Amino acid sequence: MVVLEDGRTLVERVEPRRSTLERRTVAGRTKTMAANVDLLVIVTALANPSPRLPTLDQLLAFSELEEIGAAVVFTKPDLADPEQARALLALYAALGYAALCVNAKAGKNVDALRALIQGHHAMLVGNSGVGKSTIFRALGGDASVGNVSRHGLGRQTTTAGRLYRFAAGFLIDSPGIAEFGLGNIQPSELAAAFREIRETASGCRFSDCTHLREPGCAVRASVEAGGIAVSRYASYRAILADA
């Protein structure tokens, strides 16, 4: 790519894409939102709007299915119950995800997030109003780009994204997701996309257990015993219901 003297850009060649993130439009067409992304930064507000954990969990499952790294960022901690914030951070950190609580306006943990995305081709995703654009600006983003994969079905409130390049990668601020689904996914696929369910399912009586109603289900037993979070299991059930 060459920038001409008059500010126009000339594309000399198009490099092959290692991966693409797509969404499906209302009309049923597939639209590419980003390419070569290797880290999804999933942003969820702790308040105003209240945490939408099913969306967070679907996006995490999406990252597992697509074999893309994922990080969890909670915003608006100044408006939330501190105990709730600590519990959610602990939950997702225990699952092995990088988890941060960021207040971009106050500068809290912005540097930690910047360090997290260094060296990555990262994309901010989440519902509208959770603070993605505020984070994007706090990290230095300002540029515009054109308008997420195999398992992703998203409908968004806007159609434009923004791209910020830095020395060792880039960050995309994606439009807010109004709806998100994983499409026609089978229970075994979805169970594999929930880390704690995947690890526990080997203890089920039946190898094809859906973890919904079968006897001898190790996953449901773990939920009842407090090993698997009730919210995560509820998200699993909701995704299957939608599928």
Supply the pLDDT for residue 141: 72
Residue (of 139, 131, 148, 127) closest to 39 by Cα position: 148
Distance CA 63, CA 28 (A): 22
Q: Which domains does the chain have, with CATH numbers?
A: 18-181 (3.40.50.300), 187-242 (1.10.40.50)
Supply the pLDDT for residue 93: 98
CB atoms within 10 A of CB 49: 13
Supply the pLDDT for residue 98: 97
pLDDT along the chain (243 residues), means of 10: 76 72 58 79 94 93 92 96 96 97 93 93 88 88 45 44 73 69 86 97 96 97 98 96 83
Half-sphere exposure of 183 (CA within 13 A, CB side): 13
Instruction: Give the global pTM.
Output: 0.82
